[in-house]
Structure 1
């Protein structure tokens, strides 16, 4: 029975961010079809920020009208919404509408908004529900959260989305000289997209199946006895029950209005109910809060908006690898941090500086688009992919470290963590959207027909 419950907890956690993570890894294919093209990542980034009205509503209701929103009912609602939105995406993702003379993928953007509401709201509903169960299932839940980023990335790798080749195509043209017209043949390189191993339709159906699996798992988890039910049967000592209620209050305050896959704040072991309190000076806390805001600005707002500009100049294969491997680096870094936590402020600063350096390189390449450094070199392809993976991995681990430190400090510190993470994400998205979509700071071009100086 315990093994089945572990599997259910893992499947439930998988539904937390699987939909949005699936969209990110499918972007290399989507940008070749949808009319937004290279602008699409910035649209998704701002949509995710807008979708935080969901967790904000839940948080405010719990604050001012406690008990009015039933947690189980909310989870049923958002998971059902996720299943329906993923299913509709499979059929409507490439439908477009003309607004003000410009074609836009309105159904895709609207359904993305609903998926973002599902995933963002999961940050303030899934964890409080899991804390009601026995503590040993918490680690399994976080492994499931990690799989919400890992599995879509593996599926996208198997799909081979967005891979292209340059084909020399001939065109017949008429050249007029004086009164004489001569027919001539010219040759031009054009991009030809190789068909993926399976279509976007199948990909979104797989995402639907994963969301449905999470919904079914939650149905069975909701039937499990809660911690206080077990205590009434004298299955737990009274001290553990009291500690469990204390943990519920502590974790309930840690409601992140997330913008992507969120890592656990601290590894949860069956016997690790309450963390040992550690106190930090005002200067140390200020440093941690600044780093949280800065890193969230980069990882959730600034860099995702320009990933297409930093990778597509090297080709769709490079973009495909950068998107999928960096998505895999996020949950893997979080899983490593669960088993190898670290509270060193020095290491946290070093990781923040290293991640910022990788992010600066990615941004510099995006600014140089469509003619970046080492464009026609395999070294250029390898460096940009590696830079994106290290950028995501180092800063993901740093955010877990910050959560571990603040959770050991106080409950209010974790509340500040969530607020500052969301603030940084919002600032990054608001900064980049006009730069990308209004002022046109970043330039796009067809990879095969680029005319860049040698």
Structure 2
């Protein structure tokens, strides 16, 4: 997984980079994970998730400005360090304010609305959307083998909130017969600690991330891990052979024609990162209730708790096998598209999809649900490795395309769920005759 010749400082650098990337999406993922507790007190009910997704999408204005700046000032290098400081501090401040104001409502247009939650969510998403681009570009300051730290941190942004939710007892309920005995109602169990304490824990995670970034910038820990253009060129081409030499460290090179990209293939891979991100970050979680809930609250709970761990498996695969042949890359994306299409079909048929109330159906949907994250997540990691080798700006455009894909996916999901109301949700403990 790691280079056996690494020194202590290089291991510390990898850990610090992972901690830095925790500030990307931990807060927004934390809000979505905490929704079962938040909706119990907020006036929007379960529609709150859709509204939060829309508010988060609006914050893509920040990475859009970065992309335009990159295009206009293409001859000048982008210094992402001050941007990273700003966005992490904004995220920390917003998360701290959530501790005190998450439940506040404001009377607007004849009804109470969670205005404070929406505003603070916007600023948190501003951190996440911007950091996806700036952190990706920041990785070019370090050697290639440190790229996987970006994806480890990304996976932990989902795993840690889910662990906190499990410790809190979030989303656990019992189905109790109603007074007329014809229906059942969901009774949520009392959480072990409050929503405010939950957001305080998220704030401390962001604070640790900020400290890690300061250590990387103001100490010599990362000095031996930085990218040295004279010792580790991104790409070398010999005059006598049409071969690319990829430097792993200052002493060894890997000659591999398979890693070479044409301009067209480079653009296709960036498009692939946008496509996979549109599904993973834009659509899958938005339709999770319509896909999983018809098979029972236990399946819904397992699906939402286990899915973040799939990103950790993606990171593990990426450290073991950072590159695969491009034809296999395409094959995995096609397979992931098939599993997602199956999930989308189930969402359209909700609340009466096939094989409900059967063990076969429960196992099948859980396997398909988790497989989508692996089949589309791993190619996205491999694409990052390819584009980084192709261009010094590859990681910047990778991050921009990831964010663009997530935006497009969330817009499509919002249209399907909210505007056209094409899905019918099954509430917890609700019995429907199919």
Report the TM range for the smaller structure's normalisation: 0.7 to 0.9
Question: 2:261 aligned with 1:242, yes or no?
Answer: no
Question: 2:307 aligned with 1:312, yes or no?
Answer: no
Q: Does the CA-based 8 Å contact 2:297-2:429 persist in structure 1? A: no
Q: How many residues align?
A: 413
Question: How far off its partner does 1:69 sit?
Answer: 8.2
Question: 2:104 aligned with 1:109, yes or no?
Answer: no
Cα 1:396–1:135 change in 2 (3 A) is closer
- SS for the counterpart of 1:15 is coil
Structure 1: gaps of 5 or more residues: 172-185, 249-266
Q: Which residue, 418, 424, 437 being the options, matches 2:418?
A: 437
TM-score by length of 2: 0.80
Q: Which residue, 70, 82, 87 being the options, matches 1:78?
A: 87
- SS for the counterpart of 2:284 is helix
Q: Does the CA-based 8 Å contact 1:139-1:269 persist in structure 2? A: no
Cα distance in structure 2, aligned partners of 1:388 and 1:352: 15
Paired position in structure 2 for 1:24? 32
Paired position in structure 2 for 1:200? 195
Cα distance in structure 1, aligned partners of 2:280 and 2:255: 28
Question: 2:327 aligned with 1:332, yes or no?
Answer: no
Mapping of residues 413-452 of structure 1, within 5 Å? 417-452=398-433
Cα 1:336–1:369 change in 2 (3 A) is same
Q: Which residue, 210, 213, 227 being the options, matches 2:208?
A: 213
Cα distance in structure 2, aligned partners of 1:273 and 1:100: 64
Q: Which residue, 127, 131, 135 being the options, matches 1:122?
A: 131
- SS for the counterpart of 1:376 is coil
Q: Does the CA-based 8 Å contact 1:133-1:226 persist in structure 2? A: no
Question: How far off its partner does 1:117 sit?
Answer: 1.0
Question: 2:325 aligned with 1:352, yes or no?
Answer: no
Mapping of residues 384-399 of structure 1, within 5 Å? 384-399=365-380
Question: How far off its partner does 1:207 sit?
Answer: 0.7
Cα distance in structure 2, aligned partners of 1:8 and 1:293: 27
Cα distance in structure 2, aligned partners of 1:135 and 1:287: 21
Cα 1:410–1:352 change in 2 (3 A) is same
Cα distance in structure 1, aligned partners of 2:145 and 2:269: 29
CA deviation digits over 1:268-316, x for unaligned, max 9?
9555899967445677567645544432332232323212222233344
Cα distance in structure 1, aligned partners of 2:83 and 2:266: 34
**Bigger CA drift: 333-342 or 217-226?**
217-226
Cα 1:39–1:415 change in 2 (3 A) is same
Paired position in structure 2 for 1:162? 171
Question: How far off its partner does 1:108 sit?
Answer: 1.9
Structure 2: gaps of 5 or more residues: 1-7, 236-245
- SS for the counterpart of 2:433 is coil
CA deviation digits over 1:60-116, x for unaligned, max 9?
445546889864432222112111222222333333334333443222222221111
**Bigger CA drift: 15-24 or 401-410?**
401-410
Cα 1:377–1:26 change in 2 (3 A) is farther
Question: 2:218 aligned with 1:223, yes or no?
Answer: yes
Cα 1:430–1:141 change in 2 (3 A) is closer
Cα 1:313–1:36 change in 2 (3 A) is farther
Q: Which residue, 145, 149, 153 being the options, matches 2:158?
A: 149
Paired position in structure 1 for 2:239? none
CA deviation digits over 1:27-81, x for unaligned, max 9?
3444555444443443333333321222233344455468898644322221121
Paired position in structure 1 for 2:238? none
Mapping of residues 162-181 of structure 1, within 5 Å? 162-170=171-179
- SS for the counterpart of 2:364 is helix
Question: 2:62 aligned with 1:54, yes or no?
Answer: yes
Mapping of residues 29-48 of structure 1, within 5 Å? 29-48=37-56
CA deviation digits over 1:388-442, x for unaligned, max 9?
2111121000112223333444457666655544443333222221221122211
Q: Which structure: larger Rg? A: 1
